[in-house]
Structures are given as C-alpha cells and as structure tokens.
Chain A
Amino acid sequence: MNTEPTMQLPGQWSTFGVGYDWLFYFIYWLSVVLFVAVVGAALYFVVKYRRRPGVKSEPTGHYLLLEIGWTVSPLILLVMLFHWGFAGYVSLTAPPPDALDIRVRARKWSWDFEYPNGGHSQDELHVPVGRPVRLILSSEDVIHAMYIPGFRVKRDAVPGSYSTLWFEATHVGRTRYFCAEYCGAAEQPVHEADGTDRYTGHFSMNGWVNIHPVDGPAAESVSGENTWRSGWASYLENVLRAPIDPATGHEVTPAQWGELLYARNQCNTCHSVNGSAMTGPTWQHMFGQNVDLADGTHVLVDENYVRESILQPAVKVVRGFNPVMPSYQGSLTDRQLDALIAYIRTLR
C-alpha cells in the first residue's frame, strides 16, 4: 500500500484502498481493451473500405449468431462487475461493532467533529491509525457530503436524519477531505486585512484528516501541519478535551449529558434502564436490536429510529405498548437528541 498518488487515483490511506484500486484499474484496462477493439476496427474499416469509383458496397447480410453473441456475452462481464462492486459496497456500509464513533455536523460552510469524550474540533478531523472509525453525519441546513478521496469513501449529510460512513486508516499522516454535495457560497467575500478577498462556500468546506499514531509525542510538542504526529491518546485528552460541566467542575461526555437529560426530562417515568417494562419499552439492551412493531413489521433500533421515536413517537410504536408518548419536537435541541442517543447506545 502506498500513500503516493498514482496517475489516476489518490494515495491509499485506508483499508479500502487496495481492493478499490484493483477494481478501478480492472475496469480501466477492460475499457481500454474494448475501446481499442471497437475504435480500431472502425478506423481500419474506414480506411480499407473507403469509397472507390466502381466499387460497390456489399449488401448487408444477417448475422444472427453474432447479434446474440454480443448481446449476451457482455452480461457475463456485467454480472462480474456488479458482484465485485456490490461486495465492496457492502464492506463500505458495514462498520465493525467496535468502531470509534465520531459525530459530524455539517453546516454552511464548515464541519464540526465531536469525539466520544465530548470534545470538538472544527474543520480538522482527527482519527487514530489502525482503528475502525465511524462518522455519524448530519446537517444543520442543506445537504452536504463528506468525501475523503484517500479513504475512497463518501456519504451525504442530510438534514433531519443521520447517515454513516466508516474507514480504517492505515498510515499516519494527513490526507484531504472535501464537501462533495453542492451547497452554495456566501454572496460577498470577506475582505482580509492584507487587501485580499476570501471567498467561502461549497469549495471551501474542505480540510485535513489528521491520522495520529497510537503512541507518539505529547500533543503540546507538535503544532500546525505536524499536529498529526502527536499520539492519539494524548491528543484526545489534551486538545480534544471534554467540556466541563460548570455546576460540578467535572468533564461531561455526550453520554453523561444524555443520562442527565434522561432524568431531567422525565424520560425515566416511562422508560427504565434496567430491563423492566414500564409505560414504554426499556432502554436496556435496546440499541442495535431488531424490535417488533405494533403494525407487524420490525425495525432496527439505530440513531435514526431513536431520533424519529423521540420526535414522532406515534409513527413506529413497539408491539405491546400504547402510542401515548408526547412528541419532543421543538423541546429538545439536536445536540440534546444526540446526547440522549449516545446515552442509549451505552446501555446496549
């Protein structure tokens, strides 16, 4: 594996690189062969059968076998390509269960990354090397898309729901990410002190993915372009610090905040966390399970289902319970919803 770009593809920074590039170059060479065959034959015929006085064209005959041949034989190739593409896609959509979750919020025109300890970074993503990372994407305004060419991954961030992508970085260093879904631009540039104009928009929603070694120098000893050199644990602890709860002076992770919200919003009057059924289903061992619904279908309890159930509780009611929960639309912020989801995740 190589982090240097090839003629057509960026360097390989993730575990997807090798398989992806193999398939890409396979299709490329397949295309080259087909192109040369078709265009070569056409050009050869154009020269060989150019119009000459007194030479007539030969009447067109019937080539039934040939017709059937070139209608059916591409199917074999197409099935192969579909299969490889689908297999690759399945691995892209199925993160390992121990993946590190990073919550990503997109807005015009910046990215906010929230780490499991509750710490944040703006426009620079920090991940450890050699560990699966899952990004949980959402948008606060229009559709954006997280695109990391070096990892060969891309996913839209859609307002009103969560989407995910995952990767496992294979090298320490840094590689670029971009916004890939058009999201406009500021009408006017910002006039900088040095007299230049700085434009912001879709095209400026990009930055670096910093891939940290597991062990490395302390975060304080590196800065700027070399930030990625510091050890992951040290960077997480010292730079991506968890926020401090002013009331207690302790660090609060999103899950801990969710636990506070669970009590403060009286979720606990209907939902237990110890497995006992109350007015509503218990939260214990709920996340990541398939549950049966009152209408006879079933649903996977994931981020999107929990969010929907808090905002529109009557839509998908778990079997055996009554649709009595009020909607929390407007009374919980997106951040509070995220915190509750983070808390529920810890109970699985």
Chain B
Amino acid sequence: MATEVAVAPGHHEDEPDHMANYLIAARGVKSWLVTLDHKRIGVMYLASVILAFFMGGMFALLVRLELLTPGRTIMGAATYNRVFTLHGAVMVFLFIIPSIPAAMGNFILPLMLGAKDVAFPRLNLLSFYIYVVGALFSLFSIISGAVDTGWTFYTPYSTTSSSSVVSMTLGVFILGFSSILTGLNFLVTIHKMRAPGLHWRRLPLFVWGMYATSVMQVLATPVLAITLALLAMEKVLGLGIFDASLGGDPVLFQHFFWFYSHPAVYIMIVPGMAIVSELFATFSRRAIVGYFAVAMSSLGLALLGFLVWGHHMFTSGQSEFSTMLFSALTMLVAIPSGVKVFNWTLTLYKGSIWLTTPMLYALSFLVLFTIGGLTGLFLGTLSTDIHLHDTYFVVAHFHYVMMGGTVMGFLGGLLYWWPKITGKMYDESLAKVSWFFVFVGFNAVFIVQFIMGSRGMPRRYYDYVPEFRPYHQFSTVGSWILAVGFFILAYVLVKSLRSGAKAPPNPWGSAGFEWNTATPPIMQNFAVTPTITRGPYDYHEATEEELWDGFPEDFKKSEP
C-alpha cells in the first residue's frame, strides 16, 4: 500500500537514483530546495533550528552579561528588554517548538514506520517554507526596532508598546501554520503509513511521543493564531478586545494566550521524552519498563496540557474558584511525568548500559527533568506559588524543564541519529567533554536562580538590589561554561562532517526500526516495504552479533 503512495519524492527531477544514498541521489542546490524527500526536509529544518538556537543562545549570553553587575553593564534598559524578549521568542517559536518534531521527527518517523515518506510530502515542503517565511517576519521585526513585550505579548503592554509588535506577532502567526501542517502530516502518516505488522502495540515510543505532540499542535495552535490576530487587530484597527480603556479585558488575552502556550509547553517537552525513551532502550539493551504506561503517559500529558492553562494566572485576578480548579488539575500532571521517570529508571535495572554521549544526555534529562518537575510542585501548590510567581524561581523551573529536558533530549537525539543522518561518526571523547561543560554550565546558570527567586528576585529585571549580586554573577559565569560546551559540540559536529569516519549500518547495536535501513538511508528508505515481525525493543530475541548486523528475521522478511 505504502509503495504506491510515496513514490512521489523527486519524480520531476532528472531521474534521481532512488536506490542511492539520499544525500547524493540528486545534486545541486535546487534539488534540495524543491525536494519532497522527508529526510532532506528534515535536514533543512535541522539546519534552520540549529541556526535559531545559536541566535537565541547569543541573546541569552547578552542577557546574562548585562546582569553581571547591577545597573548598566553593556546595554540600556530598553535594549535589555528587547534582548530578553528576542531570546524567549526565538528560542520558543523558532527553535524549541520545531526542533524535535520538525527536524528529527521528519527524518526518523517514516523510517521507524517502514514508510517511504510522510503521508503528504508536498505539504511537508510547504510547512518548511511557511516556517521560513514566519522566521523572516520575525527577523524583520528584529531589525526594524525589535519587540520589548516579552515572548508572552501580554496586553495592554503589547498593544501600547511602540516596538514592532505587529511584525513579530505576524511572524509567530505564520510559524503556527507550519506547526499545524507538520502535526497533521504526522497524524495521518502514523495512522495510514505503518508497515505491515507494525501494529499500535509495536510502535516505537518516539512515534507515540510524536503522535501526542501532533494532536496538541493541531488542536492548540489555531487558538494562538486567533489570539495574535485579535491582538494585531486591536493594535492596528483599535478594536477593543483586550484593552480596558476600549472596553476590553486585559486578562482575557492571558486566557487565550496560555490556552495555546501551556499545551505548547508539552509540545516542547513530550518530544524530548520521546527521544529519551529511545535512548534508554538502546543504550540499556532493554525494552522500556512499562511500555504501554510510557506510551499512554504521553497522551495523558497531551490531554492534561489542555486543562491547566490557568496556573499561569494565579495572581492575575481570575476567580478563586478557577484558581482552585487549575491548581488541582495541575497537580495531576505529576502522575504521567512520574510514570515516565520511574519507568526509565527501572529500565536501567539489570540492563547492559553503554555510556555513550547520547546516553549521557538521556541521563542528564532524567536528572534535570526531575529537578524541573519537583520544583513544579512549589508552583502548582497555590499558596507557595503566590510568593514564587513571576520570580527567578519560575525562570529556573522552566529552564530545567525546557533546556534541562527538551534541549538535552534534542542533543542526545542529534548525536544518536547523527550517523544515520550524515553517514559519519563523531569524535566520542570530545563529545563527552562538551557534554561535561554543557551539564555543569547549565546547572551553574540555573540552580542559583531558584535561590534568587525564592528570596524574592522578580523576573525580567534590568537592575537588581545589591543582595542578589553574588547569585547573578555565579549565574553569568555559568553561562560562559555552557557556551564553551556548545562551541566544543559545534566543533565536534563540523569535524565529523569534514573528516568523520564512515558510520557502520548500526553503530549503537540498536533494535530500533530506523536502523533497518541503510546508513545513511537510500532515497526511498527501503528497497522493499519491510514487514515487521517484532517489537522495536526486542533485544532478548537477538544474539550480540545479530544486534550489530541486524535481526535475522528482518532480513528474511524484507527479501521479495
């Protein structure tokens, strides 16, 4: 069935070689720009999000540098407000939301499903170009005076700000459609393009994670689009929706905004969890304990993600009744999160653990996400939240989840699939050095922010009272350690591209389905549609040699 649907990629090209490595199957810039191959689109996304991550990271370093001393260090207050806004907006909308789903999901998902492409290859390319156009609008906003509203665009500040809010919100509005189309594409792909024998109980946990993420992208993102459209209409046409002086309700914006942006938090973290599940299985040589519970917990998070937006507004003046309800629902988030963490930990038990760099990132995820999750208890509990709301405690909490969680998952997945994507190995020992700097630097930046926050340092402050100075300095020095880690990592990746050793077909001895194709994959992924006869984590069914060379029955079944 899948054979007929997905022959489309590159058909109008001058006869690319479908059996050749996808990187060389067609040549020239144009063959990339008009490609319908999910792998190439994934690679273009990957390059884009890494660029965005670099940009957002630079803004972060500027923010930390400015906070090195109280008062002015390198920039004025108005500039500082723009820089931290851009850090947030670029990281959230240009990097972290598309990072794992659009870049790695695009590349890996069809390989895991035994499909030749996603369900709608043209839509896939369109969503990439929508991303590019949205990114250009955001960049235009940056050069035309930038935005100083914070990435949350709270009204009435955003509707009265003289900075270029409209082009930024328009950019984010456009980016949203890219996200919706990718989600839709993945949903249909997962439902309709699974190889014979790949029933739901055999789906890799990465695919389950992508499924939950896609549901949220399709259902939540339109609300953001509507909200930002209303914001732009109020700003341009003077329509009174959020502005109290025009008869609107400023808090309504927060409801609308968080109705998307809270699910968006799970759009960001669930893919990270999805990658980590794969890493734990591969490098422990063991099926994830409680496979079904872990899969369902992704869907559980997706569902709960829609019901807790009000916990961003405990001090905003929503009714006491809603506040109580949102606090209770927020507490429930701990259940699926706990299920994942406990099951990963137990997966290590009696495993055969190989501490590669991807596995180090998976373990970092476990440690840092646990801190991020536990500090969430302080914020879900009503009375403790009141004091901590809008302080550095919240900043530290969400960086432990978003960066300690998602970014660690992203980096783990990047190195894990690097040989699959590029066909080359990277320098493992240097990669471990970079991991060390990233891990230590990250903790140095953010652990002190918990203390600062609980002692009363509000967030988004250009200046601070003298007692917070030592904490800020510690944090800023941490940001330099972190930056060193990332530069070493960049060097490792560039070196691998230029002179890395050729990757073996299955460098990690993984039972995952994506390793059943050539490394790097051929243009149409599989010479013959594979028939799946086992689960993705059936390590106990193969001998040591078979793990490296391929499960015997996979090859038997894929012969015509």
Contact = CB atoms under 8 A, between A and B. Distances in A.
Contact of A67 (B251, B284, B293, B456): B293
B451 A8 contact: yes
A313 B71 CA distance: 48
A39 B368 CA distance: 10
A156 B316 contact: yes
A75 B250 CA distance: 35
Given A35-B370, A56-B544, A67-B293, A50 B391 contact: no
Interface stretch (A77-85, A98-106, A214-222, A289-297): A77-85
Interface residues of B, number: 93
B455 A149 contact: yes
A204 B463 contact: yes
Interface in B144-161: 148, 150, 154, 156-157, 160-161
A74 interface: yes
Contacts of B497: none
Interface in B382-406: 382-387, 389-391
Interface string A162-196: 01000000000000101111111111110000000
Interface stretch (B105-113, B186-194, B330-338, B438-446): B330-338
Contact of A30 (B377, B390, B462): B377
Contacts of B386: 89, 92, 152-154
Nearest to B150: A182
B384 A27 contact: yes
A203 interface: yes
A193 to B, nearest CB: 17
B384 A85 contact: yes
A56 B285 CA distance: 8
A324 interface: no
B323 interface: yes
Interface in B264-293: 284-290, 293
A20 B387 contact: yes
Nearest to A7: B451
A160 interface: yes
A210 B284 CA distance: 60
A92 B383 contact: yes
Contacts of A57: 284-286, 350-352, 539-540
- Specify which of B150, B154, B383 lies most central, judged by the most chain A CB atoms within 10 Å of its CB: B383
Contacts of B338: 70-71, 74
Main secondary structure of the interface of A (DSSP, over half): mixed
A185 B81 contact: yes
Contacts of A70: 338-339, 342
- Specify which of B284, B344, B371 lies most central, judged by the most chain A CB atoms within 10 Å of its CB: B284
Contact of A189 (B76, B315, B451, B544): B76
Nearest to B281: A60
B293 A185 contact: no
A147 interface: yes
A75 B383 CA distance: 19
B77 A189 contact: yes
Given A92-B383, A143-B250, A49 B331 contact: no
Nearest to A52: B352
Contact of B72 (A142, A163, A197): A197
A76 B415 CA distance: 40
A75 B335 contact: yes
A50 B353 contact: yes
B345 interface: yes
Contact of B458 (A28, A156, A179): A179
Interface stretch (A40-48, A111-119, A255-263): A40-48
Contact of B77 (A28, A51, A152, A185): A185
Contacts of B347: 60
Contact of A59 (B81, B387, B461, B540): B540
A322 interface: no
Given A23-B383, A92-B386, A199-B76, A51 B370 contact: no
Given A35-B370, A51-B354, A152-B387, A86 B327 contact: yes
B289 A63 contact: yes
A46 B454 contact: no
Contacts of A39: 366-367, 370
B462 A201 contact: yes
Given A38-B342, A154-B389, A24 B384 contact: yes
Contacts of B381: 23, 27, 81-82, 84-85
Given A75-B335, A86-B382, A50 B355 contact: yes
A243 to B, nearest CB: 26
A160 B366 contact: no
Contact of B350 (A9, A49, A142): A49
Contacts of A206: 465
Contacts of B328: 82
Contacts of A249: none
A302 interface: no
A78 B304 CA distance: 15
Contacts of A323: none
B298 to A, nearest CB: 15
A145 B77 CA distance: 19
A217 B384 CA distance: 37
A136 to B, nearest CB: 12
Contact of A84 (B250, B374, B383, B456): B383
Nearest to B393: A8
A46 B279 CA distance: 14
16 contacts: A8-B451, A27-B381, A39-B366, A49-B351, A50-B353, A50-B354, A57-B540, A74-B334, A82-B382, A87-B383, A88-B383, A152-B383, A180-B458, A200-B77, A203-B77, A206-B465
- Give the 10 A-B CB pairs with smallest separation, nearest first: A160-B244, A88-B383, A149-B456, A85-B381, A45-B348, A89-B382, A31-B374, A185-B77, A59-B540, A85-B382
